[in-house]
Each structure stands twice: as C-alpha cells, then as structure tokens.
Amino acid sequence: MSEVTTVGGVVPSLSFICLEAIMNIVEAHRYHPQVINDICKYLQGAQHLLNPILEFLIEKKAITDVALSAFLIPDRVHLNLTNCPHIKKSTLKQIGFNCPNLLSLNLSDCQQVSNAVV
C-alpha cells in the first residue's frame, strides 16, 4: 500500500484533490474559456466545486465574459465579482436572467455597472 500524502498533517478530502486537479488543468490551458465552459458543464449541480473555481479565476484576474457566463446558473445564490472591472455590461445584464435564485451580488469596482445593468 502506498503512503498517503497529507496537507499540514491532514489527509485531503476528495473534493480538495479534485479542485486542485481542476485548477491545475485551468492554469495549464491558460484560463481558456472553452476549458472553463467544459468544466462547468461537467460539474453542473456541484456548487461546492464550482464556487471555489470561480473565486480562483477572479483572484487570478482570469475571469472573462465568456468564462463568467458558464458560472451563471439557476442554482447560484451568491455571486461576488469584486474587482472585475473588465466584465462587460452585456454579461452583467445576464446575471438576473440566468440566476433567478440569487440572494447576494457584489459588483464593487465593476466599472461597467450602470442603472441599466441594475
């Protein structure tokens, strides 16, 4: 039997291992929107995996309009797009239509936000 690799003395969960692998794939493909779309399609209904991927892309400043659209799904209840100034109005307008169950939305520092978007 092989030895289990630990993270800080704790055996990582399967979700953690999957997320790490997915993020490595996304980085290896240089945040290509089609790769992100495919991942979102395969993980549909698995918000516990999709949310950290979206946060990762936002943190890396790698979220694009096309990539964000893949994350705009009816099950989404929270969306934090803080510091995403390059997201276009047309994409921001999709949020309300594609995320009818949204309870919280943060658009701080999104330069494209206007009354029409809200």
What tens digit of pLDDT does each residue of 59-72 get?
988 899 989 999 99
Q: Write down the pLDDT at residue 39.
A: 92
How many angstroms separate the CA atoms of 42 and 61, rounded? 23
Record the pTM: 0.81
Question: Which 8-state DSSP code applies to residue 50?
Answer: H
pLDDT digits over 63-118, tens only?
999 899 999 999 899 999 988 888 999 999 999 999 999 999 999 888 888 777 77
Backbone φ and ψ for 61, nearest 5 degrees, come out as 55, 40
